[in-house]
Amino acid sequence: MSSEALAPQPAPIAPRRPRAPGPAPNGAGSLARMLEVLDLFTAETPLLRVDDLQARLGYTKSTAYRYVKTLCDAGLLAQPAQGCYALGPRIVELERLMRIADPLLQAGEAVLPSLAAEVPNSMVLLCSLYRDKVLCVHREGPEAIQAGGRSITILRARGLPLPLFQGAASLAILAWLPPHRIRALFLLRQAAMAAAGLGADWAAVRQRLAGIRREGFVATAGRFNRHLAAVSVPVLSRDGSQVAGSLTRIMALSDYAGQEPALLARALQGGAGQVSARLA
């Protein structure tokens, strides 16, 4: 088999209606429009052609080529094959800088190992909010959890996005966002919130999230896997004025059933306090 047959090929992308003439949404300028190109790269579509960019973003061919050239010159895109573009080496460089300079990651690397060791057969995640999704920043614990008579691999690698409205790690962030931001999210994503069981209207959503804040933690059982449970607490900024992320323990449902969720949350809250204290 030839090497070309083994190389990944750009996934086909369905055309999208061209963007209407006029200014970019929310007053965004040409820089914001150019950076939209980076949003198109995913695990499913690691390679893209200029035609793909036109179809998805509604740009003219000259604009698409100009944006791609600028991103390539900056190292944010690269051309591994003729006519195909991928994320560039500058992103790898930025990832290294984040690993050695990100305050949340640095705090997590110092606190999470001992926290994970407190409960055998469990994993502890540190997550943060990015746009309308939650990203895993750091994890400690085994690669797999023994539960339900099987070994369950936990696919929560650094940088993996989680849905904002589902799961303990996400709800522990969402519930502690400023009210005006939660309201704005509701207006934009009402159907998604309802589908996630947060409530069909604003009153129901507000009541559900207020209940989470009163409890001080989120606990879920069998949410993404029927053999697993999770307990999560918010990580606040050093002055307590805003939520910086969440700290979550994932464990076997059988182990969770024999413990008090509030006690599990209390240990996580201690760890979250240590992380907060280390933030600048």
Which residues are bridge partners to 130 per DSSP?
133
Can you give the pLDDT of all 280 residues of the chain as single tens digits?
333 333 334 444 444 433 433 334 443 478 888 888 998 988 888 999 999 888 888 888 899 999 999 999 999 999 988 889 999 999 999 888 888 888 999 999 999 999 999 999 999 999 999 888 899 999 999 988 998 888 988 877 777 888 899 999 999 999 999 999 999 999 999 999 999 999 999 999 999 999 999 999 999 998 878 899 999 999 999 999 999 999 999 999 999 987 899 999 999 999 999 999 999 7
For strands 150-153 and 122-130, give the pairing: unpaired
Residues contacting residue 267 through CB under 8 Å, at least 6 positions apart: 115, 118, 119
192 membership: H or E segment, kind and range: helix 179-195
Which residues are bridge partners to 221 per DSSP?
229
